A and B are shown apart, each in its own frame.
Chain A
Amino acid sequence: MMPPVRAPMPKIEFETYALANGLTVILHQDRSSPLVAVDLWYHVGSKDESPGRTGFAHLFEHLMFMGSRHAPYPAFDAIMESWGGHNNGTTSNDRTNYYEIGPRNLLETFLWLEADRLATLPDVITDEELERQRKVVQNERRQSYENRPYGASELAVPDAMYPAAHPYHWPTIGSHEDLEAATVADVRAFFDRFYRPSNASLVVAGDIDLSATRGLIDRFFGWQPARPRPDRPPAPAPVKLAADVARTLTDRVQLPRLRLAWHSPGLFAAGDAELDLAAHVLGGGKSSRLYRALVFDGRIAQDAFAYQGSLLLGSLFHVGATAKPDHGLPEISGRIEAELARFAEQGPTDDELERARNTHLADFYKGLDHLQTRADLLNHYHYLLGTPDGVDRDVERYRAATPASVRDAFARVLAGKRLTLETLPEAKTA
């Protein structure tokens, strides 16, 4: 048997170039099915929002579907769905992506729609449209966080971990108050600042003719005027908590949950891959250390988790567990402490590291099977590394990790100050 870690690396073939106006283009041909995927990244996320306007990057993403000069609302969705295409967008702290997937005969339509909204969106945006999408986003917040068990604890983490002026201090979904404060003038200013060809990268993937696709991209995007990349404030200094922070929430839940968080190295920084692997050894599967200590053997918790939440300006390393009925958080906490301390001292065994690495790489390969995932990965590498050619470099980070490097990366994280966040069941009203 040849373990995945030593198997030949899969490739994502691509070609890349830039238009004169600064738009980066990446083409990836895959003729295994008659589909195309268009994946357009704008290098703006919730980290670029202004105080008092949290959640704006994501609200703006919704407004991108509210029509443009030549494709008035609801043409964006209506045209592509009438031909069997579909689309979505997502906003993170660091970037916003928009993608369309559909039959190959829709490629020209996808590009025209994306080009028209990049060129003309501020023409048509109105108070009514802003108001409608504001309500949709507020319902998204309720559905994804407020009416979901332990959702409130997710919103509390960035608030506790980052100082008020830091771009990661607020969640991507924003606050109701800030969402309500947003105006059409904000929309125009945000568009003007960040939605520029020079601040975007376009991947076209799938059943495409490369030369014809270059021609289409040139036709719809090539005429758009060049504008400089947006000014950005210098990256903030890495954050350190001055002291441990403890918070307690109540929620509509049956069982208490403990969450711990530490600051950790940013995406692709030294130690980031090691912490992914450490998280797997601690909380990734049935015989992971925390699952085994708390759930499998200990039977004091219903679940246990660990993950490295990798972001551009700095990451958070998360650990947590949900208590079983008749067990409490102090007991959970003591057991977690012991496991973390042991891991920081001893690191993973060779076998644990091998399992974590094989699992990670196998998951990576599985992702490569999906056209839009591949398209998004090319954009991801372009954004982070300045080139879409990132598969080898990414995989090499995991291949190079050793038990000592995983131990050291984890020990550095654990030595920092931490957030301890308890979610307790609401008191039952009689």
Chain B
Amino acid sequence: MNDILSSVPSDIPSIMDEAPAVGPLPPVVVPPVNRFTLSNGLPVVTIRREVAPIVSAALMIRSGAGAEPSELAGVASLTSEMLDEGAGDRDALAFADALERLGADLWLGSGRDGSQLSVQAPRETFFDALDLAGDVLTRPRLTQPDWERVLADRRTGVVQRRDQPESVVNVVSDRLLFGDDHPYGHPVEGFTRTLERLSLDDIHDIHKAYWQPSNAFLVVAGTFDEPALRARLERALGPWTWHAPERKRVVPPLPKRPRLCIVDRPGAPQSVVRLVAPGVDRLSPDRPGLAMLNAVLGGSFTSRLNFNLREKHGYTYGAASSFSFMRHPGGFAARASVFAESTAPSVREMLAELAGLHERPVTAEEHAKARATLLMRVAEGLSTTGGIAATFGELGLYGLPLDEPNRFVAALEATTADDLRSLAARHVDPEAACIVIVGDRVAIEGPLRDLGLPAAVIRDPDGDAI
């Protein structure tokens, strides 16, 4: 009896036999940009996209948590968050209400290398939203009661971070990889002990040093009338005044890393595993090739790491890797959340895949996949208004030329499989990796020792020694 299979047709036409031939990849078309400067020196780039009736703006500030003193960790992002807690004629609630009336999103925040004010609004209200953004930049209120509220929320948020194993592994692996004196050694949100030291005076200091047009770059993308946009930008942002540039931080050498670190999470059903090692900076000529190499290793579904840990072994819902291309050399990371019982075999396989880039060099097929994947990622990044603003905003953040997307595309096309093999030899070293695991120590420590790993360094969820 075979009626259960009745749904498979018996006569399948021959057109189904073979995968269709695939024609050449379409060229990646980078949209044309307009560039001008406001009277206060703020450089502006505009790009049109007219699919949906919206406009996105990204104002990039070239200072973020990486520029703040380590002992004041959290101050850059708190400064960003404070800027819309009342501005101009409106207190914090009235300001939020005004944005909602316009259907506008205004987002303020900081990352490692920069801070950002983003505005996204319907075409009909975008110019009014710009006026509100202008108030944020030129007339933030920065009052003591708002500061106390925002700081209290942040302090609770930093306590809640301990609940989130993915956040904990970020904090601990950055501390171990970069060290406490490095711009990237502390979390953007700060620690309880650094937040305790902060006052509203620190916010004023950081605001003055970071948030000024000499340190900024603006991108506007979407549906707008260019002459009207220029006039409204001048009106909204022209009064924003220029100060002396901020001081740069000293970047110390990376510290010696432990081989293995465990953050105990008793009873955890999964271990969050992270392998970290030194990487390269945003301006490195190796960046296009390393992005391609990463697509092979852990930057695509069919990557070696995901295929091994997820598809072959079922240890995880997904394994991945990435290079962080930042102002100062960032990190390389391989990551997976794995079934607690599979922790040691997962670490073994992750290390084996790093070594595997040397033992089983990148094949022609993998090279072709990496090239197509990265090219189409550029195309997809440029296929939404927000994506266009983010793509060009990142160029402004790092002071890169506006034809960088074209150069990146050309570099991807020129990178050979041999280039990927030599990049792997220079940049991927399983012995250099520091293995950080947030998991049930009692359950995982023995099997990890049996892998031949040295005794684990034990840290708490903030990365402090216990």
A positions within 8 Å CB-CB of B: 1-4, 7-8, 10, 30, 32-35, 69-71, 74-75, 77-79, 81-87, 101-106, 108-109, 112, 115-116, 119-120, 122-123, 131-140, 142-144, 146-149, 185, 188-189, 191-192, 195-196, 207, 219-220, 223-225, 227, 252-255, 285-287, 292, 295-296, 299, 302, 324-325, 351, 354-356, 358-359, 361-363, 365-366, 368-371, 429
Contacts and interface: CB of A to CB of B under 8 A. Distances in A.
Contact of B159 (A138, A142, A254, A355): A254
B100 A122 contact: no
A347 B54 CA distance: 31
B23 A358 contact: no
Contacts of A299: 149, 152
Contacts of B96: 285-287
B339 interface: yes
Contacts of A219: 15
A87 B300 CA distance: 11
A112 to B, nearest CB: 5
B438 to A, nearest CB: 9
Nearest to A225: B9
A227 B199 CA distance: 70
B170 interface: no
A320 to B, nearest CB: 15
Interface in B144-160: 149, 152-153, 156-157, 159-160
Contact of B373 (A2, A84, A227): A84
Nearest to B371: A84
B398 interface: no
A32 B22 CA distance: 21
Interface in B358-386: 365, 368-369, 372-373, 375-377, 379-380, 382-386
B207 interface: no
A66 to B, nearest CB: 9
Given A142-B269, A351-B97, A366 B52 contact: yes
B332 to A, nearest CB: 22
Contacts of A295: 153
Contact of A120 (B12, B102, B128): B12
B253 interface: no
Contacts of B6: 192
Nearest to A207: B26
Given A10-B52, A296-B93, A70 B17 contact: yes
A186 B125 CA distance: 53
Interface of B: 4-9, 12-13, 15-20, 22-29, 49-54, 92-93, 96-97, 100-105, 120-125, 128, 149, 152-153, 156-157, 159-160, 162-165, 265-270, 272, 300-302, 307, 310-317, 337-339, 365, 368-369, 372-373, 375-377, 379-380, 382-386
A143 B337 contact: yes
A147 B384 contact: no
Given A220-B16, A286-B93, A103 B25 contact: yes
Contacts of B373: 81, 84, 86
Contact of A119 (B9, B339, B384): B9
22 contacts: A4-B103, A33-B29, A81-B301, A109-B22, A115-B16, A120-B12, A136-B311, A139-B315, A143-B317, A147-B165, A224-B9, A253-B160, A255-B156, A286-B96, A302-B160, A325-B156, A351-B101, A356-B100, A362-B102, A366-B105, A369-B49, A369-B54
Contacts of B301: 77, 81, 86-87
A35 B298 CA distance: 24
Contacts of B311: 74, 132, 136
Given A133-B314, A362-B125, 9 more contacts: A84-B369, A109-B20, A123-B5, A188-B4, A196-B7, A252-B268, A253-B160, A369-B49, A369-B384
A147 B270 contact: yes
Nearest to A86: B301
Given A104-B26, A149-B160, A286 B310 contact: no
B208 to A, nearest CB: 25
B103 A120 contact: no
Contacts of A147: 165, 268-270, 272, 337
Given A3-B125, A287-B97, A83 B22 contact: yes
A404 B12 CA distance: 59
A335 B302 CA distance: 50
B26 A34 contact: yes
B266 A429 contact: yes
Contacts of A138: 339
A49 B420 CA distance: 47
A84 B101 contact: no
A361 B102 contact: no
A218 B75 CA distance: 60
A254 B162 contact: yes
B382 A33 contact: yes
A370 B152 contact: no
Nearest to A79: B19
A69 B14 CA distance: 13
A351 to B, nearest CB: 7
B20 A33 contact: no
B186 to A, nearest CB: 21
A7 B124 contact: yes
Contacts of B15: 219-220
Contacts of A86: 300-301, 373
B314 A132 contact: yes
Contacts of B384: 369-370
B270 A4 contact: no
A7 B160 contact: no
A1 B124 contact: yes
Nearest to A145: B269
Contact of B93 (A33, A71, A109, A292): A292
Given A252-B265, A286-B96, A366 B22 contact: no
A8 to B, nearest CB: 8
A369 B17 CA distance: 37
Question: Max chain B CB contacts within 10 Å: which of A139, A224, A429?
Answer: A139
Contact of B22 (A70, A78, A106, A296): A106
A103 B122 contact: no
A322 to B, nearest CB: 8
A192 B3 CA distance: 10
